[in-house]
């Protein structure tokens, strides 16, 4: 296994800003930041720009509290803090999706207080089962395309957009392949390392990231290190993000193997692909409606639970760990029903309340260890 490539991927994930700044200096490229989730990165890439997913900061909150109350979503406050204090001059523009009340207000606050050369709000349909939702998203995507063309003073051609779509599809396929390796042979790659690699793909140019993934996957296959399949305590992760990142370290330490997830910084980012036929804008829109559930978006039925039930069954998981971002309103609404549904199906569910600036994790480690032991007894 090529440890040099692995270390390069992990270094991007754990502190991307120096490396991406160097890329920007070398290439004279421009960076467009977006918060989670569902901004069409392929469109930004086809405009000749680097899409960069903003995932907040675990450094202290110094300025965001003057704009957002302390009981606002921890993720929203951390995202705002990142661009107000720690990376104020890093981005050349922003595309901020609006999926709930918090992100709508955040977009207005951002526009007024953060320096920008380019700013767009991206209004995603919240009720995706409505007949008008698909046309709404197509119109929004067309509008964003026009704004990006005005910024770059270049047309986003159909051919160029298909090339970007192909590049992103390839990246997702590599990451899904790596996920399968991780599921089957956990001694090759722990939870933290694998999910860090997904993070790195949200920050590094896809052309380079694909090259690194291809080399890393080939080195695993050629070395024939996989050996026999390992068993263990298998869990499914549910939520939006895994912050603070030490949560994954704890799962590794106590011997829990993540075999499936519905995270925005996980499976939901790497599946599905865009179908390579027809109109590229419609292909991007169609992909959105085939993605896994996302808690602020409403769909027919209890889709979050139904998706988790399928994951537990398909992956042979022993239980579910739900990562609940403190004060996230959509998760607050979903969680009571999810707990009731899991209890009815007799699926062990452990809820972890997370906050970006959490530093004391000893108590959490003890609780996760106890959950792991309870699964071993079943």
376 within a domain of the structure (yes/no): no
Phi, psi of 55 (to 5 degrees): -120, 30
Q: DSSP of 28-55, one letter per residue?
A: ---EEEEESS---HHHHHHTT-EEEEE-
44 within a domain of the structure (yes/no): yes
Could you state, in chain order, the average pLDDT of each consecutive group of 10 residues for the chain (378 residues)? 92 97 97 96 98 96 94 94 96 95 93 94 92 96 98 97 98 97 85 97 98 95 64 92 94 96 97 94 96 86 91 96 94 94 97 88 94 88
Number of domains in the chain: 1
The confidence score (pLDDT) of residue 371 equals 97
The confidence score (pLDDT) of residue 1 equals 72
pLDDT digits (tens, 9 = 90+) for 17-66: 999 999 999 999 999 999 998 999 999 999 999 999 999 999 999 999 99
Is residue 182 exposed (0-12), middle (13-18) or buried (19+ Cβ within 10 Å)? buried
71 within a domain of the structure (yes/no): yes
The confidence score (pLDDT) of residue 138 equals 97
Here the CATH number for the domain that contains residue 104 is 3.40.50.11890
Phi, psi of 178 (to 5 degrees): -65, -35
185 within a domain of the structure (yes/no): no
The confidence score (pLDDT) of residue 299 equals 79
Starting at the edge strand found earlier in the chain, the sheet holding 256-261 runs 256-261, 233-239, 319-325, 349-354
63 within a domain of the structure (yes/no): yes
The confidence score (pLDDT) of residue 52 equals 98
Segments forming the whole domain that contains residue 89: 28-159
- pTM of the full structure: 0.96
145 within a domain of the structure (yes/no): yes
55 within a domain of the structure (yes/no): yes
CA distances from 74 to 66, 243, 328, 354 (A): 14, 10, 7, 8
65 within a domain of the structure (yes/no): yes
The confidence score (pLDDT) of residue 94 equals 98
């Amino acid at each position: 296994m090529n440890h040099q490539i692995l270390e390069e991927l992990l270094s991007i994930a754990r502190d991307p800003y120096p490396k991406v700044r160097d890329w920007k200096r070398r290439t004279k490229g421009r960076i467009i930041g977006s918060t989670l989730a569902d901004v069409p990165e392929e469109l930004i890439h086809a405009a000749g720009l680097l899409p960069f997913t903003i995932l907040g900061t675990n450094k202290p909150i110094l300025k965001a509290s003057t704009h957002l109350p302390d009981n606002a979503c921890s993720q929203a406050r951390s995202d705002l803090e990142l661009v107000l204090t720690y990376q104020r001059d890093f981005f050349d523009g922003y595309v901020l999706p609006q999926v709930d009340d918090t992100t709508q207000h955040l977009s207005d606050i951002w526009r007024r207080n953060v320096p920008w050369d380019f700013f767009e709000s991206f209004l995603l349909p919240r009720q995706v089962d409505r007949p008008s939702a698909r046309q709404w998203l197509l119109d929004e995507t067309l509008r964003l395309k026009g704004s990006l063309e005005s910024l770059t003073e270049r047309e986003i051609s159909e051919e160029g957009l298909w090339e970007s779509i192909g590049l992103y599809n390839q990246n997702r396929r590599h990451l899904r392949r790596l996920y399968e390796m991780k599921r089957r042979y956990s001694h090759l790659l722990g939870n933290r390392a694998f999910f860090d690699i997904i993070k790195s793909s949200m920050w590094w140019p896809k052309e380079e990231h694909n090259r690194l993934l291809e080399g890393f996957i080939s080195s695993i296959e050629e070395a024939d290190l996989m050996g026999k399949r390992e068993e263990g305590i298998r869990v499914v992760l549910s939520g939006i993000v895994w912050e603070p990142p030490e949560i994954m370290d704890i799962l590794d330490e106590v011997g829990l193997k993540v075999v499936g997830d519905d995270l925005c910084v996980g499976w939901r980012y790497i599946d599905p692909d865009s179908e390579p036929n027809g109109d590229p804008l419609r292909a991007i829109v169609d992909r959105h409606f085939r993605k896994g559930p996302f808690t602020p978006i409403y769909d027919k039925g209890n889709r979050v639970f139904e998706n988790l039930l399928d994951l537990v069954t398909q992956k042979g998981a022993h239980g579910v760990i739900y990562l609940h971002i403190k004060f996230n309103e959509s998760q607050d609404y979903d969680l009571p029903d999810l707990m009731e549904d899991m209890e009815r199906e007799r699926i062990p569910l452990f809820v972890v309340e997370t906050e970006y600036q959490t530093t004391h994790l000893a108590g959490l480690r003890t609780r996760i260890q106890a959950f792991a032991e309870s699964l071993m007894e079943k």
